[in-house]
Amino acid sequence: VFALIVFACLVGEGYTNLPKSSQLFCIFNHNEDACRYGIGIGILAFLACIFFFMVDIYFPQISNATDRKYLVLADLGFSGLWTFLWFIGFCFLTNQWSWTRAEDVRVGADSARAAITFSFFSIFSW
């Protein structure tokens, strides 16, 4: 759920434009990589959650103990990796938000703060 919130905040209001220009830019200090990183890990986290949820559903039907072991280790390893990536994302988004000028943000400040907040919550949920 947190990954969807981060993704939705960045896609919905993470890009904005100046009144005199039609070109969109990322709300996080005009750094496109910040928005791309948040959107990327949000989408991949959501897809991974769906995959591991399906694995959990079919887990009792897997009779081979070796396959079960590898699935559990893959889940554990992925969760550890994604915890680290959410921590990096939180630090990156927070850093870029702190360098963002107030006059560049007319719409989307609440979405940017929500993306930062839920990326922080994602560290603990993973």
C-alpha angle with apex 93: 92 to 95, nearest 5 degrees? 65
Mean pLDDT, range 10-29, rounded to an integer: 88
49-74, pLDDT tens digit by residue? Answer: 999 999 999 998 988 899 999 999 99
β-partners of residue 15 are 26
Mean pLDDT, range 72-85, rounded to an integer: 95
Residue 106 confidence (pLDDT) above 80 = no
In angstroms, rounded to a whole number, what is the distance separating the alpha carbons of residues 122 and 16?
25
Q: For position 20, what pLDDT does the model report?
A: 83
Question: How many alpha carbons lie under 13 Å from residue 68 in its C-beta half-sphere?
Answer: 9
Residue 93 confidence (pLDDT) above 80 = yes
